[in-house]
Amino acid sequence: MRSLCVTTSISLLLTATCFHLTYAQVYPADFAQVLVANVIPNPTVMAFAPDGRIFVAQQNGNLWVIKDNAKLATPFIDLTVNSSGERGLIGIALDPDFSINNYLYLYYTVPGASAHNRISRFTANGDVAETGSELIILELDPLSSATNHNGGAMHFGKDGKLYVAIGENANPANAQNLNTYHGKLLRINKDGSVPDGNPFTTGSEQRKRVWAYGLRNPYTFAVHPETGRILLNDVGQSGWEEINDATTGGKNFGWPTTEGAFNQTTYPNFTNPIYAYPHGADDGEGCAITGGTFFNPTTTNYPSGYVGRYFFQDLCNKWINTLDLSGSNAVRASFATAIAGNALSITLGNDGNLYYLSRSAGALYKIIYNNTTAPFITNQPADLVISEGQVANFSVTALGTTPLTYRWQKNGVNIPGATSATFVINNAALADNGEYRVIVSNISGDVTSTEATLTVMLNVIPVAEIITPVLGSTYVAGTDIDFSGSGTDVEDGPLAASALSWAINFHHDTHNHDQPAIDGVSSGSFLVPNEGETSDNVWYRIILTVTDSRGSTGKDSVDVNPQKSTLNFATNPPGLQITLDGQPLETPASVVSVEGILRSIGIITPQVKDDVTYSFESWSNGGAQTQSLATPADDITLTAQFSTIVGTEANLYDGIISLFPNPSRQDHVTVSIPSSREQMVKIRLVDLLSRDIVAIQKELHAGDNPVPFYYGKINKGMYSIVVELADKTISKRLVVSD
C-alpha cells in the first residue's frame, strides 16, 4: 500500500487529492479490481438501477449516480442528515417497479434534538430526485446518545415487501424487546404499513412490523434473486461475525445472550447463524461483517463455479470470502485478500461483476474476470497535479498471460529504465511536465495505456497545525473534546477557516470509524458519546487538512486517548454469573472501561451452579437488579448477593430431604435423608451470605437416615442446610426462631 496524490478535475480548478491506493490485491487468476469512481468520501451503500446506473450513498447525505463508469457532477439528492458516528445516509432500495414509477427509498438519520432514523420514498427525475418528492414512509424510534449500530440495509423481498435492517442503538436489551424497532429486521409495505404475513400480528406498531429479532447491528443483508432467501449479516461485539438465515419470519438470533454459534439445547428458542467467523487477523477472520451478496447473475463471464456462491467481506481484514450454500452446512472459501481498506456493501452488478465500496479510498471498485491471453489494462494511469519537489507516481494494472513487461514513455519516447508496473519521479520538477503512458506486453502481444498528464506546479504545500488538543490529551466519555488549528502557506499566507477541514475518527482495536469531515472552521468541539462502544481499546484521531489556493494540501493529526477505570465484579457465593451490557459474564471478572461510559449491569436469576439454585438478593452498591452505571474515575468492585432457593430439590433428587422441626427453636435440626445405598454425606449450615457456620460428615445406610445436626446457639433468622451427596447437592431453607 502506498500513498498517492491523484488528481481530479473539478470545474476549472485542478484539485490534488492524496489518498491510499492499493495495488497489492490478491485475486484468483484472471480476476482484477478496477476503479470505477472515486472522490466519494465516507461511502456507505450502493444499489443498481435496472438501466445499469449505480446509486452510491455518502454518509453525509449525498446520493451520487455513477453512469458509464463516472460519477455525475451533481448529486441525485443532497439530504441534510445527522452523520455522527455511524449515522447518516445509510440505506437505499429501489422500488421493484423503479423502471415504471421511479421510486427510490432511502434510510437516513434525521438531525435535530430528537435524532432518529427515517425511511422515505423519493421520485427520480432522470439523474436527480424530483424536488419535493420526499414521502416519509416510516419514522423509527428515537436514538440515544449512542451514535453506532444503526443498521440501515434495505431490500425488497421477492414478495414485494420492503425489508429493513436496524441496529440496536448500542443498547443490547433492545434486541430482545419487540416493542422497539431497534435490533430488528422489519418487513413493511411500500407505504410503511404493516403487511399480512408478519410473525407478530398483535401489540405495538413496532411489534407488528418485526420480521426477525435478537440482532446487534445488521448492517447489510441480501435477498436471493430467484429463491427469495434472505441472509442477514449481523456485526458482532467481541467474538463473532454472523450470517443468519432470516427467510422465515419470527426468528430470534440470540443477541445479546449469544454471539456466534451456540448449543441449541441450551437456547432452544434462538436460531443459530448459518455461518459465523471469529475475530482475528487472518483471511476469514475479522472485526465486522460489512457486506454480503448472492452471486446469481443473469449473465456473467466469471467461471461457473462461482455461480450460487454467497460472497461476503469484512471491514478490517481486506478480504472477500465465499460460502458454498449447496450442502447442509455452509462451506467457506477464500476469494480475495488485500483489497481496499474499510470495505463494505459488496453487491452483484447488473453486468455480472461484483462491486464494492472502500471508505479508506473513498471509491467504488468492480471485480472483473478476463482470461484472454493478450495483455488487457484494468486500471489506467491517472493524471497527476503535484507541487514541485513532490513525488509523481504513475501506475498501471493489467491482466493477460504472464510474464507481463512494461515500457513507460514520456511524450511518446521510451523512458530509460522505466520497466515496471509503476513509474515514480522523486522530487518532481517543472521539466517533468508531459504526457505519460505505458506499453504492456507479453508473448501474445502488447497494449498501450491511455495518456496521463503530469502537471507540476511551482507551489509550496501548505502547513497544517493542530493547536488543541495538545499531544497527550485524554478524554472522559460524555464530555466535549475541543479542537482548534490553523493553516499557513508560503504563497497564500495564513489560510482562512474555509481552507480547513477536520476529520474526527473513532478508532477501535485495529479499525477506525471514519466520519464525514467538519469543514470550514478553525475551531470547534464534539461530544464524546457516553453510550455506544464499550471496549476500552478506543481512541480518537483528529486530522486537520488545509488546502491552499492551488489545491495542494497539508495535514496534521493528534490522538486523544481515553481515561480508564477497572470495574471488578464478584458474587456471593463466588463464581455465579452476572450480565454486562446484556451479555453473560462469569465472576470474578475485571473489566477495564472508559471513564464516563454507561455500562448496563444485570443479573441472571435464578441460576443454577453445581445443582444449587440461587436467587439474586442485592448489589453491594444498593442499585437495582439491572442498573446503568457510569464508569467512575476510580476503580470499583460490585458484588452481587445471592441466596439459595428451597423447593427445587424435587427436580434434583429422587428422594425427599426434610428438616424438622422447621422453624426450629433448638440448637439442632434433624435432617431426614433417604438413600438408596451406603454413601457419605456432608451437611453444612450456611448463612444468607453463603458463609459456612457448621459442617458435619456422616455415613448413610440404605433406607431412611434421620441425621441430628447440632449447630449450637446461633442468631435467629434464615439459613440454608446444604446436603452434599456423592452426585447431588441439595439445599433447604431453615428458619431459626426464638
Residues of this chain that interact with Ca ion (CB under 5 A) are: 242, 253-254, 459-460, 489, 491, 548
Could you tell me the smallest distance in angstroms from the CB atom of residue 458 to Ca ion? 9
**DSSP single-letter state for residue 656:** -
In the block, cell 464534539 appears at: 526
Q: Are strands 135-142 and 598-603 parallel, antiparallel or unpaired?
A: unpaired
Could you tell me the smallest distance in angstroms from the CB atom of residue 679 to Ca ion? 44
Could you tell me the smallest distance in angstroms from the CB atom of residue 462 to Ca ion? 5
Could you tell me the smallest distance in angstroms from the CB atom of residue 603 to Ca ion? 22
Could you tell me the smallest distance in angstroms from the CB atom of residue 456 to Ca ion? 13
130 vs 491, which CB is nearer to Ca ion?
Answer: 491
253 vs 719, which CB is nearer to Ca ion?
Answer: 253
- Spatial distance between the Cα atoms of 659 and 728, rounded to a whole number of angstroms: 17
- Spatial distance between the Cα atoms of 365 and 680, rounded to a whole number of angstroms: 72
246 vs 421, which CB is nearer to Ca ion?
Answer: 246
489 vs 649, which CB is nearer to Ca ion?
Answer: 489
What contacts 610, CB < 8 A, 6 or more positions away? 729
99 vs 264, which CB is nearer to Ca ion?
Answer: 264
271 vs 690, which CB is nearer to Ca ion?
Answer: 271
358 vs 459, which CB is nearer to Ca ion?
Answer: 459
Q: Do residues 399 and 32 make contact, with C-beta atoms less than 8 angstroms apart?
A: yes
Q: Do residues 71 and 63 make contact, with C-beta atoms less than 8 angstroms apart?
A: no
In the block, cell 498517492 appears at: 4
Could you tell me the smallest distance in angstroms from the CB atom of residue 498 to Ca ion? 15
173 vs 460, which CB is nearer to Ca ion?
Answer: 460
Record the cell numbers describing residue 512, joined without a space.
477506525
Helix, strand and coil in the chain, % to nearest 5: 5, 50, 45
- Spatial distance between the Cα atoms of 401 and 441, rounded to a whole number of angstroms: 9
> CA quadruple 278, 279, 284, 290: dihedral positive or negative?
positive
Could you tell me the smallest distance in angstroms from the CB atom of residue 448 to Ca ion? 35
Could you tell me the smallest distance in angstroms from the CB atom of residue 652 to Ca ion? 31
151 vs 478, which CB is nearer to Ca ion?
Answer: 151
- Spatial distance between the Cα atoms of 396 and 418, rounded to a whole number of angstroms: 12
- Closest C-alpha among 228, 313, 230 to residue 277: 313
User: What's phi and psi for 75, nearest 5 deg?
Assistant: -65, 155
Residue 649, H or E segment: helix 649-652
37 vs 178, which CB is nearer to Ca ion?
Answer: 178
Report the chain's C-alpha Rg in angstroms: 32
Could you tell me the smallest distance in angstroms from the CB atom of residue 253 to Ca ion? 4
In terms of C-beta distances under 8 Å and separation of at least 24 residues, what long-range contacts does 199-206 make, across chains too?
199/249, 199/250, 200/250, 203/178, 203/179, 204/178, 204/179, 206/141, 206/178, 206/179, 206/180, 206/181
In the block, cell 472522559 appears at: 476
Could you tell me the smallest distance in angstroms from the CB atom of residue 262 to Ca ion? 8
Angle at 41 between CA 35 and CA 44, to 5 degrees: 85
Could you tell me the smallest distance in angstroms from the CB atom of residue 503 to Ca ion? 21
254 vs 478, which CB is nearer to Ca ion?
Answer: 254
Could you tell me the smallest distance in angstroms from the CB atom of residue 620 to Ca ion? 32
245 vs 548, which CB is nearer to Ca ion?
Answer: 548
Record the cell numbers describing residue 576, joined without a space.
455465579
Could you tell me the smallest distance in angstroms from the CB atom of residue 271 to Ca ion? 8
31 vs 253, which CB is nearer to Ca ion?
Answer: 253
Cis amide prior to 573 (ω within 30 degrees):
yes
Could you tell me the smallest distance in angstroms from the CB atom of residue 216 to Ca ion? 7
- Spatial distance between the Cα atoms of 87 and 67, rounded to a whole number of angstroms: 27
DSSP characters over 239-283: SEEEEEE-SSTTEE--TTT--SS--TTT-TTS---SEEEEBSSST
Could you tell me the smallest distance in angstroms from the CB atom of residue 211 to Ca ion? 15
- Spatial distance between the Cα atoms of 338 and 208, rounded to a whole number of angstroms: 43
Residue type, 300: T
* Order of strands, sheet of 668-675, starting from the edge strand that comes earlier in the sequence: 658-660, 668-675, 703-710
Could you tell me the smallest distance in angstroms from the CB atom of residue 461 to Ca ion? 6
- Spatial distance between the Cα atoms of 237 and 533, rounded to a whole number of angstroms: 9
In the block, cell 484494468 appears at: 378
Distance of alpha carbon 518 from the chain centroid? 23
40 vs 500, which CB is nearer to Ca ion?
Answer: 500
In the block, cell 472501561 appears at: 593
- Spatial distance between the Cα atoms of 168 and 186, rounded to a whole number of angstroms: 13
Neighbouring-strand partners of residue 58: 43
